[in-house]
Structure 1
């Protein structure tokens, strides 16, 4: 059965969805996106995603396609029309269609595309066993805080990780510190029980789930340090995990072929995942 998708104000079957070949998202990756989770048919942390969308748009001097209220109404309609109970709503804004030119065009209407994906989030077996990562150099552009659709290097890094028998890659800066995963924020828990994650800057995405999980950790009186950490620190950690809108809190149990602690998901990671899900379900 075909999904209903949203394209510039219209709800259409996915096979009928079309945008211009001159759309700058297609020609230049001149666009930004957000992904909101859906639990029990309801959006999770969507207000935070909308705030970050506007930040990305402002950083690229790109106009919003419509009001936040119109976007959320369309998201809810897509969830209902596609009968999504658990899954995701993807939202993409590009600068719009114009004759190909590196300079930003003037008076162009932005393109807005949205679609849903149904997938299990709560009972993900990966969360029971954890994932493995390998370290790779971070070759992305320097404004990783802008959530652009230019995701080719993260795709390449993820494929290299899979070729090496791992699930994902954690990327390293020129100084040998981990920035983040290919599509997630990275954390360790030291043997002293301190949660360590890289501080916000242009180097990493300002994760919405990251913000929520750190808030939860503070309320649980867990100690947090926002600073860079090295692969050696990961190998010596008590636990490791990542956060993202689609995976919530996910254990990382192996890095570069070496088990982290006992090679199993840690207690603090499991606690944070349970607490995040509980809050997300209860609104």
Structure 2
């Protein structure tokens, strides 16, 4: 698949212009202290990277099976339905436990898949290529609305509204967005569409089930990496004094080495999960190239 220089300009313009507008909004908000500008900062920061990646993905297919309106529906309707359904199910089905992150992954990947099936109704074809693009649109829509919620939570602190925490949250989630929900739903969407193409109707095949479980595990590892890193640090470096404090119900103060190890383990773990997801996506794209050929 080849991409011309002109094909790349739309998503580049979206990213550059959006980034400049977001930065300008942050500066003006900080200078004026005007709280009515905060929704602008939240929305621009939360939607910039997801919208850019959807524009990039849709621009790579010279003969898409769906219109831009269908992509917008996948992003907005799929994202909102996914967030709402996941919130309801997680509220009533999950409780704090060691398996909570796995439960979150199972629920969120399921509702995104169902949202994808809903927005894909009536398409003229169902190929892996189309599943990758439309699945990414649903996943990035989910990520955008979820990021907006996290941004609002970080904004409200016990000391009042914190613009700095809002900006830090949006920067971090923006950097990590490409290897999160959009990636996982693109993978599952490709396999779902391949099964739909082969059987002429939606089928829960062995490949679909294994892919669903696979992206769920990636999701759970991603969400739970903070706890995994903490457990690794405690297992490798915990002192007798810290053990005693934990037994007495106190939270011990970490040493400098433990803080650095925690940061290292956390980021290395996230990188490993991201690489696994990207390698999986790359394998699917190579399969698309072999089966469909360049467009």
Identify the structure with the greater helix proportion.
2
Greater RCO between the two (CA within 8 Å, min separation 6)? Answer: 2
Q: If the length of structure 1 is used for normalisation, what is the TM-score?
A: 0.29
Q: If the length of structure 2 is used for normalisation, what is the TM-score?
A: 0.28
Identify the structure with the greater strand proportion.
1
**Higher CA-based Rg:** 2
